[in-house]
Amino acid sequence: MAKVQIEYVCQNCGAKSPKELGRCPVCGQWGTYIEEKTERQMIAQKAPKIISSGARPLKLHEVEATPEIRIDLHNGELNRVLGGGLVPGSLVLIGGEPGIGKSTLALQILMKLGEIKTLYASGEESTKQIKLRAERLDGNPSNLFILSETSLEKILEYATELMPDIVVIDSIQTIGTETIDATIGSLSQVRECAAILLRFAKEKNIPFLIVGHINKEGSIAGPKVLEHIVDTVLQFEGDQHYMYRILRAQKNRFGSTSELGIYEMQHNGLREVTNPSELLLSQNHEGLSGMAIASAVEGVRPFLIEIQALVSSAAYGTPQRSSTGFDGRRLNMLLAVLEKRVGFKLLQKDVFLNIAGGLRVNDPAIDLAVLAAVLSSNMDIALDDGICLSGEVGLSGEIRPVARIDQRIAEAEKLGFKKIIIPAGQKVSFRPKQIEILPVKKVAEAFRHILKN
Ligand code: TYD
Ligand code: MG
């Protein structure tokens, strides 16, 4: 006889407990425990038997390599992030905060696919709502099926009937399977649904784009369990107040994770931003202090971004340090370097830092531009607008080499910059036509170049 057992599962990390806990001892979250029923025996019976594939060990050269098939999604940015298109039979998870544009992205892709047969299954919206959204997007699909359904079994039944080339599930937290007795959106449901989808996708060789919501911590709800199951995890991020969105690959079995796609949210959907430096070029602010331009690389693409800093006298005893789009701890470290190695007195100053366009940049090569912006604001001197910077700053104030320096210089030259400050001792094979390259060893040396004008 099946023995029904009640246990409490943390919806954040999946830890289990026989009684309800206020705070999860594993991940430290409050109020995340939810009651779930498990039928011990049933699960034991249902566990799939392990079946041998009958394969023998082969020498590497004996293994036949068939060329990979990829489905072209007619969306350059997404194709690139996926590593050259969508692999048939793969599961791709698109995670992001509510309202960032996941549904728009998924629907927009299907809209552009023309005659390719696709299925958009939504547990969140009615077919009418989806139709309204679709009307705002471009494209004229002749084979796009819309389904408003929360039962996974039903969705897969229709998928078997239609045999589409791509299926979108929007979202994994709003659909559920009948095989387990847990509320829709709970960790066990999400995990079970993903496992069923995986089996189905591989069996039928149909790729799935799965939308997933993100919880407070920025990980996909039902977090780690899903990441293990799917082939690719894409993170859709951006600041809701800005129009730019970034699509990053966090995990990719079929490509690199260093690629990234940039979009702009417009009234008729997401526009691909093929030239990221336009984020910067759209503005013009000659003569303003507290701004510096960095030649950054995100993924494998170089682009120029604007760093803004505001340094002012602290109104209260403890000075404020705040940054948007840049790691706060790194900002503190850079300010300490400025204080100790260059002799700036920032102890009594508030420092605010902002990366224009609502972008979050991880590239350490923007360090030097961050310091230049702080310097400029502190002295209230505008930097020469023909200069840009690239270099990581070390603890002793030394400028450390950065990756892809040639591309950074080339991008700066392309956009008409006259000078670029780079780390000394870095091998440059790029032959500049007009841009002047200024190698520097120390922060102080970089400041001397900046202040010369
Ligand atoms: P949505 O794709 O529903 O976000 P998610 O599925 O990630 O929750 O849409 C996000 C926002 O985008 C929504 O507030 C409305 C806006 N939007 C546009 O600006 N232009 C458009 O063409 C569409 C369809 C949506
Ligand atoms: Mg949505």
Mean pLDDT of each 10-residue bin along the chain, 453 residues long: 74 83 85 74 53 82 82 92 92 91 94 93 94 91 94 95 95 91 85 92 94 69 73 87 85 85 90 80 73 87 89 85 92 93 88 85 92 93 90 94 92 90 91 92 92 72
End-to-end CA distance of the chain: 84
Rounded CA-CA distance 77/90 in Å is 18
Establish whether residue 31 lines the binding site of ligand 1, counting it when its CB lies within 6 angstroms of any ligand atom: no
Q: What is the DSSP string of 380-442?
A: T-PPPTTEEE--EE-TTSBEEP-TTHHHHHHHHHHTT-SEEEEETT-------SSPEEEEESB
pLDDT for the residue numbered 127: 94
Establish whether residue 241 lines the binding site of ligand 1, counting it when its CB lies within 6 angstroms of any ligand atom: no
Ligand nearest to the CA of 173: 2
Using CA of residue 30, residue 32, residue 38, residue 40, what is the dihedral sign? negative
Establish whether residue 269 lines the binding site of ligand 1, counting it when its CB lies within 6 angstroms of any ligand atom: yes
Cα 105 to ligand 1 centre (Å): 9
pLDDT for the residue numbered 223: 53
Hey, which bits of 158-243 come out as E strands?
A: 166-170, 208-213, 232-237
pLDDT for the residue numbered 285: 66
The whole model's pTM is what? 0.78
Rounded CA-CA distance 129/417 in Å is 47
Atom index in ligand 1 nearest the CA of residue 108 equals 24
Establish whether residue 287 lines the binding site of ligand 1, counting it when its CB lies within 6 angstroms of any ligand atom: no
pLDDT for the residue numbered 221: 53
